[in-house]
Amino acid sequence: MDIDALRDEIDKINRELLCLFEKRLQLCGDIAHEKAQRDMPVLNERREEEILSGIRRDSSPGLSEYNAELFSELMRISRRYQNDLLFSSGGDIRCGLIGKALSHSWSKPIHKALGTYSYELYSLYEDELERFVREKPFSGMNVTIPYKERVIPFCSELSETAAKTGSVNTLIKFADGAIKGFNTDYEGFMYMVKRSGIDFSGKKVLVLGSGGASKTVCAAARELGSREVTVISRSGENNYENISNHRDADIIVNATPVGMYPGDFVSPVSLDDFDAPEGVVDLVYNPLRTRLVLEAQQRGIRCTGGLPMLVSQAYASSRLFGADCSVDIDVLTREMLVSFGNIVLVGMPGSGKTTIGKELALRLGVPFYDTDRLIELAYSASVEDIFKTHGENEFRRAEKEIIAQVGARSACVIAVGGGAVLDRENYYPLAGNGRICFLECPLEELETQGRPLSRDMDTLKIMYEQRLPLYKEFSDFSVDNDDSVRAVCAKIRRAYLESIDN
């Protein structure tokens, strides 16, 4: 075959590729609009990594890296196309959030509550940032990790607070294209601290992290009268290796993304490393209660998660966007805590968790997840058969994995198996976004059919005595399942709201 014939073949393939790529972009556009409806960001790093791994695995010998490079570029172009579509579909006042990984973000529903302006999530890689900021005709844009410092060179002017902190989380673009950078995180942090009741005056404050958020925290802590502010970084003079030098810290502030969804439920430090901290502040808002916050609560230390800061800084940003907003921040913060939170039901096998959970979810208009049912679906077998075939240890391993996945969700009702409390680590993903209800039921009324560990009353009594302390330790409140399903659901809802307020 001569070179012209080969080129003809390539031209034919190019035409086929063009048709396929345009079809791909069409589908990406449909996905972009669907993601916007569901308040989801364009970028899904985990899915992109899975696609590239599959491409490398399925490639012919010697071509895997070439193919991976091609598909990486295809996905970059597709992301750009999706972002452009979302941007062009906005109203006259176009606002949103730019960052890298935004799957954790709850900014969109908060801004929906604050104004009538359009607000979308724009996931950008580093090489896309400058083009977006300089070229897009937006009115206002929030900025999050890791770009709070990187957008500063694109600003022709900084607000006093932005200049003082060296961190920008809000951009306002004027008609002539000039951009002014603001820092509403400062105002948000001040509100969060005031709401928590943590007193910074005269205290030694330990700030975890050295990024843009850390700079804001340091400036605010000094304004609040702290006697000493020390930043802990990975490689600086004060780092995690020598954090024992600061055992005397009075207040610990996490200004890192450690502990944020969708990462593992871990804490940047152990509170055992400190003598007697009086306050813990975590800027992470998803989950609502990080492991660090939960461990502080267990020790009776005054603490707060980051949602109040997110709401307050969003309110301040909305005013800069031009919204005439008269929302009460305290009321909106509570509404968001309630709406993003889960209700988790724990209790003895057969206590009615599934029946009550389904009805409660139906009444609240939120999804319902039963971890036992999810395990059954994964194994295509009943819980009883899983115990028989695979043993309890394998069941508990699968249960722990399912709980970690479901617990990371928000705005839902979750029912977990009676033995979930046997593993203390299950507590953290369940309590992160959830308030845990111990659903109590008289032993004689427990359903035992299909329950591999509770077939007779003697076994039930022993199991109840063993697990009762764990149910109480796990739960935020308890409710008796001693009335109609409707009445019990109402009791749970009331107790849930009270636990939020407390």
Residues serving a catalytic function are 148
Higher confidence at residue 155 or residue 4?
Answer: 155
Whole-model pTM: value is 0.80
Out of 240-249, 374-383, 443-452, pick the least confident. Answer: 443-452
Q: CA 275, CA 335: separation in Å to the nearest integer?
A: 36
- With a CB cutoff of 8 Å and minimum separation 6, the contacts of 453 are 349, 387, 392, 418, 419, 459, 463
Topology given in CATH for the domain delimited by 341-501: Rossmann fold (3.40.50)
pLDDT reported for residue 12? 87
Q: CA 77, CA 380: separation in Å to the nearest integer?
A: 40
Helix (H) or strand (E) holding 451: none
Q: Which CATH architecture has domain 191-310?
A: 3-Layer(aba) Sandwich (3.40)
pLDDT single digits (tens) 77-99: 887 777 777 665 544 458 899 99
- Residue 350 — pLDDT band, cuts 50, 70, 90? confident
Residue 224 above 60 pLDDT?
yes
- With a CB cutoff of 8 Å and minimum separation 6, the contacts of 184 are 169, 170, 312, 313, 314, 316, 317, 320
Residue 218 structure tokens:
């340091």
Out of 1-5, 421-425, 455-459, pick the least confident. Answer: 455-459
Average pLDDT, the chain: 89
pLDDT reported for residue 43? 66
- Residue 281 — pLDDT band, cuts 50, 70, 90? very high
Mean local confidence (pLDDT), 100-118: 85
Mean local confidence (pLDDT), 136-147: 91
Query: What is the residue-wise DSSP string for 310-375?
Result: HHHHHHHHHHHTT------HHHHHHHHHHHH-EEEEE-STTSSHHHHHHHHHHHHT--EEEHHHHH
The CATH class that applies to domain 1-89 reads mainly alpha
pLDDT reported for residue 420? 95
pLDDT reported for residue 454? 54
pLDDT reported for residue 323? 78
Residue 378 structure tokens:
């994964």
What stretch(es) of the chain map to CATH 1.20.59.10? 1-89
- Residue 65 — pLDDT band, cuts 50, 70, 90? confident
What stretch(es) of the chain map to CATH 3.40.50.300? 341-501
Helix (H) or strand (E) holding 91: none
Higher confidence at residue 143 or residue 64?
Answer: 143
- With a CB cutoff of 8 Å and minimum separation 6, the contacts of 4 are none
